[in-house]
Chains A and B, each alone.
Chain A
Amino acid sequence: MFVIIRDLIRFNIEFAIGLILVGIVVFFACLSAFSPVDPSMIYVAPPDQPPSWDYWFGTNSRGQDMFWQLSFAFRNTLLFGLTVAVISRMISITIGLLSGYLGGPVDRVLMFFNDIFVALPIFPILVLFYFVMRNDLNTVNLAILMACLGWAYDARLIRSVALGLRYREFTRHAVFSGMSSPKIMFQEHLPYVMPIIFSTAMANMIWAIGLEVTLAVLGFTNINIPTVGTTLYWANNHSAMVVGVWWWLVIPVILIVMTFIGLFLLAVSLNEYIDPRSRLRRMGL
């Protein structure tokens, strides 16, 4: 694993840039652990201060130090994205492999539900949940909800790979070696879908964070929890651009763009890497 990452950094410039961008944002988010202020408090600092040595990212109109505020926001947002990606990957792996390997009626039933989930209009459903749950819709609940809505497309992708693997001779060989179906699915077939899982996980994080930002900006989440979305919501609420507090908007936008580009580059370079490397290894070179 370490060797792989070292080689990737050395030979793949996209991966290196992606890693640096994501690394910066993750490091920044980790700083929240050392924050001297509570992010839920308001008017703890002089409001509307531009970036300076005292307040690196300035302060907002609600009297919060933007540096620490954004550090919490990014921690929450990244954790949120990661939770959605991990949970939705687990669902799509299970559904995809089951459907592809078992085939027949199991496949038809699972893919029937899968297609429903692909077709569902996610945004209105999330808004509906917000109106029903209001402030119970915290980050964790929202993450689980979005994971439950965001697995379907990738499950179909995984199924198509598993479907091909099912007819490979080594699968039949495994069956006649007495391996059970779960063993075949999760030990023989899972390594083949790992590349897909890695790259779709990044894409899924981008999707989840983007949707969270959209919901929060419109006020359809619990706005008291600092996230990138709620930061933008409050900035908009206080007409930050109009009153000239540009740093309230510009800095989080720059950081979130860095995150997206970083994740995108990681997804692309991992995909590019796994393919030829594994081919080379299998060729015995």
Chain B
Amino acid sequence: MTALLDVKSVSKEFSSGGILSREKVKAVVDVSFTLRDDTPEIFTIIGESGSGKTTLARMILGLEVPTNGDILFDNQGARERRGRAARLAFMKRVQPVFQNPFEAFNPLKQVDRYLVSTARALLGATTEDEIDKAMDDALQKVGLSLAEIKGRYAHELSGGQLQRVAIARALIPNPALLIADEPVSMVDASLRMSIVNLLRDLRDTYGVSVIYITHDLATAYYISDRLIIMQRGHVVEMGPARAVLEAPEHPYSQLLRASILSVDDAGMGNLKPADRTLAEAAWNDTGTGQLVERPDGRMVRRAIVSSPFTADA
């Protein structure tokens, strides 16, 4: 096995405040994980606002430079990708899907211009026919066709359609990895599942790995293979998605799980707040301890003082 993406003890600090009171904000602290290149998977990063999940995604995309640690993609770090040619080669393999499909397309321009540009710059298509074929192939993968899209403006399509066009655009260079940052949070409820199902199909049919970033545990459970749960920059729990979400072990994961509004309880008025002691434990211990491996393959952050016995308690 070789690693497709190797995130090695990555941290990111931002300094904020004025000249006199510089404060360091730790957005991401010591995060490590690996995606294999032989098994496509949906890898989910779960976190609330301020958890550092978006910063992590931006670092993987090369939009931010890690303060510490390294992110290797195809065994190559961001520092080695200097110059336009290297960046284009990287974009050929890793593509983003954006949060707000209405924002991802210039409202003054036709949507297919992004597809044409991608086919030309990243796939190396030169003739009109090659470009059209590349666009049509990618659009077919997401259940659209070039005839439906050509010459259309963003406002003529629904959020769901636009998000599918955006995903088709990302698929044109046949990337190995898609990074989707909250790809459905701005899509209407009736169209949301079409995007989520599409991500699943991409993995199953076309072997594309997806890093799915979300705050929504239910969709994460629905599509992901593995996940990490982040709390203020730290990974608190990491492992197989279903096992972790069905029985979370870290107090913060348990808190998140307990805070989901269950549809099964519809009409029961069940708004009993999550256990406070749990919540306080989760917030007080932020970032302490280290990830400990559990028998079922997951990693859970545990206090350093704990002996192997208490770790299993």
Contacts and interface: CB of A to CB of B under 8 A. Distances in A.
Q: Do A and B touch (CB < 8 Å)?
A: yes
Interface of A: 168-170, 172-174, 176-180, 183, 187-188, 191-192, 278, 281-284
Contacts of B121: 177-179
A176 B99 CA distance: 15
Nearest to B155: A284
Contacts of B73: none
Contacts of B95: 176
B91 A169 contact: no
Contacts of B84: 180
B107 interface: yes
Given A177-B121, A178-B122, A170 B105 contact: yes
B120 interface: yes
Interface of B: 61, 63, 84, 88, 91, 95-96, 98-100, 103-109, 114-115, 117-118, 120-122, 155-156, 166, 169-170
Nearest to A281: B155
Contacts of A192: 108
B114 A283 contact: no
A284 B108 contact: no
Nearest to A183: B117
Given A174-B114, A178-B121, 4 more contacts: A169-B104, A173-B96, A173-B114, A177-B117
A191 to B, nearest CB: 5
7 contacts: A169-B98, A173-B166, A174-B114, A177-B114, A177-B122, A179-B121, A192-B108
A180 B63 CA distance: 16
A188 B88 contact: no
Contact of B103 (A170, A180, A278): A170
A172 B96 contact: yes
Give the 5 A-B residue pairs with the shortest CB-CB distance, closest first. Answer: A178-B121, A169-B103, A284-B155, A177-B117, A177-B118
Given A168-B103, A188-B109, A177 B169 contact: yes
Contacts of B98: 169, 172-173
A176 B91 contact: yes
Contacts of A188: 106, 109
Contacts of A180: 84
Nearest to B175: A176
A239 B141 CA distance: 82
Main secondary structure, interface of B, reads helix
Nearest to B102: A169
A191 B61 CA distance: 28
A170 B107 CA distance: 9
Contacts of B100: 169
A282 B107 contact: yes
Contacts of A169: 98-100, 103-104
B88 A178 contact: yes
Given A169-B99, A188-B109, A178 B91 contact: yes
Which among B61, B84, B88, B104 has the greatest number of chain A C-beta atoms within 10 A?
Answer: B104
A172 B98 CA distance: 9
A187 B118 CA distance: 15
A247 to B, nearest CB: 50
Nearest to B120: A178
Contact of A179 (B107, B117, B166): B117
A269 B95 CA distance: 43
B106 A282 contact: no
Contacts of B118: 176-178
Given A282-B155, A284-B155, A176 B96 contact: yes
Contacts of B106: 170, 174, 188, 191
A244 to B, nearest CB: 58
Contacts of B117: 174, 177-179, 183
Nearest to A278: B108
A181 to B, nearest CB: 9
Contacts of A178: 88, 91, 117-118, 120-122
Contact of A191 (B96, B105, B108, B114): B108
A173 B115 CA distance: 10
A170 B105 CA distance: 5
Nearest to B106: A170
A172 B91 CA distance: 12
A169 B169 CA distance: 14
Contacts of B96: 172-173, 176
Nearest to A179: B117
Contacts of B108: 191-192, 278, 282
A119 to B, nearest CB: 24
Contacts of B155: 281-284
Contacts of A172: 63, 96, 98
